[in-house]
Amino acid sequence: MKYYVVLLSVLIERTWSTNDAPQQLKFPPWFKFGAATAAHQIEGAWNVSDKTPSVWDVFSHEKPSRIGDGSNGDVACDSYHLWREDIEMVTHLGLHFYRFSISWPRLLPSGFPDRISSAGRRYYSELIDGLLAAGVEPVVTVYHWDLPQSLQDLGGWTNPLVVDWFADYARVVFSLFADRVKTWITINEPLVFCDGAYTMGVYAPGVLSPDIGKYLCNRHALLAHAKAWRIYDQEFRDRYRGKISLANTITWYEPADGETDDVAEIVRQYGGGIFSHPIFSKKGGWPPVIAKMIAENSRRQGYPKSRLPPFTEKEIKFIRGTYDFYALNYYTSRVVRRARPGETIDAWPFFGAPELNVSLTVRPEWKKAPPSWFYINPVGIRHQIRWLKEQYGDVEVLIAENGYASHDPTAHDMDRVQFYKDHLEQVLLSIYEDGVNVTGFTAWSLMDNYEWMDGYVPKFGLFAVDFNDQRTRSPRTSASYYAAIIREHALIEPPEYLSVTQNATNTNTSYNSLILSFVLIVYFIK
């Protein structure tokens, strides 16, 4: 049956490709499209060969109640064994690039470079070579949350030595793969793995230390990124001419009715500025408004100095400028207002709300996706991109993640189609009306996978994965739509017969195409 679904997918793509997009809906010639995954979320094979446990292996095994469905990533999508099928999906979509991450404990079983796993090295090398043979650029994330548990036992991201541990690991990765990989992301979403772990305890390693731990993690993640960037810059760039940055997930914040923009800007500086200002601003260091607020809060709480550890002048210079582009992950938005006296502030899903004494809400017109934190506001991605330009100048922006989660495993995912259409429209407006240098878009995710604390319940995939069998991958309608956009290099309307609004004025052409698709499927089944 899988092949009949693929046939229908191809026929739908052919129908979409007949659209003639106006010039303003064309993407610039240099614009690239990709899709993304992460090692722990898809690879499985958690204890195969000499791989050692990551913090997520231990967290999900020892505390299954912290995972929405009690599951773990032991098998996940089994991409460690099925990577060739992953490449088939990538080529089916016609992607220009595929973003994936390397598992630190798979490549370096001890966490240190004393021994490189031959099995881990072979796996990633074969994946990279397979992508290149298919004409697809590998975009590699060095760290996507799977810290070796052996290093967590030594303090993990709260230990200042983690800066050197990460740098040593990154050097190994570059030495093995930089000859074939030209785009790198050092660290993915430090806001989440620092604040989510230490503020809420909902992410591995689940150590609650909201006052101290999360800010140590913040500081060390920035220094680790900077050290890895400088290693690449000094030791590998001249030979391989690649680009490297880190990826930040940023929620767009706007003021509630009756509030000034000042309160929203403070939240933006926390949510986006903490991991941007030290790298991308001209002065470097923590965002001044955030450093001042945390210092004042710390004094009121009885601490002798700020809980946000300051950078030395040498460290400020070391971190500043360590980028070649801005990698932005965008999903959702919030409305900000000042907290009322005596109001209880919830740290979820914005971990800094108690620190900033703000309350977050949403606008009633924002449609909710199934995950508790996910409200859809497509224009938010344009606002966020424009904010980055206002803050940091004409930096190149790569949208490194954007996608929609549902709880529906079926193939006909028109909500996801609409989500991508609406967000890509805002990306085009960012390029043509706001003059932002956006050079690429990455769909999250290539396929359904293990979504951390939510387990396998949210379905983000362009391809569905049947986790009850042999991890069979099947294209959804959104895969066909995304493939058509890539092929036409333009934003095109879904055919009327697949419209979310089910417009009654369907064209005969679209209707006949759908009938033809099903007739052919019936013919092949017979």
Using alpha carbons, list the distances in angstroms from residue 466 to 67, 213, 412, 443, 461. Answer: 19, 38, 15, 20, 11
352: nearest Cα among 308, 321, 314: 308
Helical residues (DSSP H) of 288-336, grouped into ranges: 288-300, 313-319
For residue 422, the tally of other CB atoms under 10 A from its CB is: 16
Cβ neighbours of residue 89 under 8 Å, at least 6 residues apart? Answer: 446, 447, 462, 463, 473, 475, 479
> Buried b / exposed e across 80-119, counting CB within 10 Å, b at 16+?
bebbebbbebbbbbbbbbbbbbbbbbbbbbebeeeeebee
Q: Are 54 and 149 in contact (CB under 8 A)?
A: yes
Instruction: Please indicate whether residue 189 is annotated as part of the active site.
Output: yes
For residue 396, the tally of other CB atoms under 10 A from its CB is: 16
User: Pick the catalytic residue: 43, 254, 315, 401?
Assistant: 401
Q: What is the layout of strands, in order, in the sheet containing 252-255?
A: 252-255, 333-338, 358-361
Q: How far apart are CA 361 and CA 337, in angstroms?
A: 8
Q: How far apart are CA 241 and CA 324, in angstroms?
A: 11
DSSP label at 127?
Answer: H
Using alpha carbons, list the distances in angstroms from residue 336 to 294, 350, 356, 360. Answer: 19, 11, 11, 5
- Structure tokens belonging to residue 228: 């890895």
Q: How far apart are CA 140 and CA 480, in angstroms?
A: 25
Cβ neighbours of residue 150 under 8 Å, at least 6 residues apart? Answer: 52, 105, 110, 111
- Dihedral of CA 449/450/453/455: which sign? positive
96: nearest Cα among 461, 429, 443, 476: 443
As a three-state string, the secondary structure of 184-237 is EEEEECHHHHHHHHHCCCCCCCCCCCCCCHHHHHHHHHHHHHHHHHHHHHHHCH
At which residue do the structure tokens 């992410």 appear?
203
Q: How does DSSP assign 328-364, residue by residue?
A: EE---EEEEEEPPTTPPPP-SS-TTHHHHTEEEE--T
- Structure tokens belonging to residue 423: 């967000």
Q: How far apart are CA 322 and CA 200, in angstroms?
A: 29
For the chain, how long is the longest CA-to-CA vector? 79
User: Pick the catalytic residue: 13, 189, 355, 488?
Assistant: 189
Using alpha carbons, list the distances in angstroms from residue 192 to 26, 303, 328. Answer: 34, 25, 14
Cβ neighbours of residue 409 under 8 Å, at least 6 residues apart? Answer: 448, 459, 464, 466
Residues with catalytic roles: 189, 401
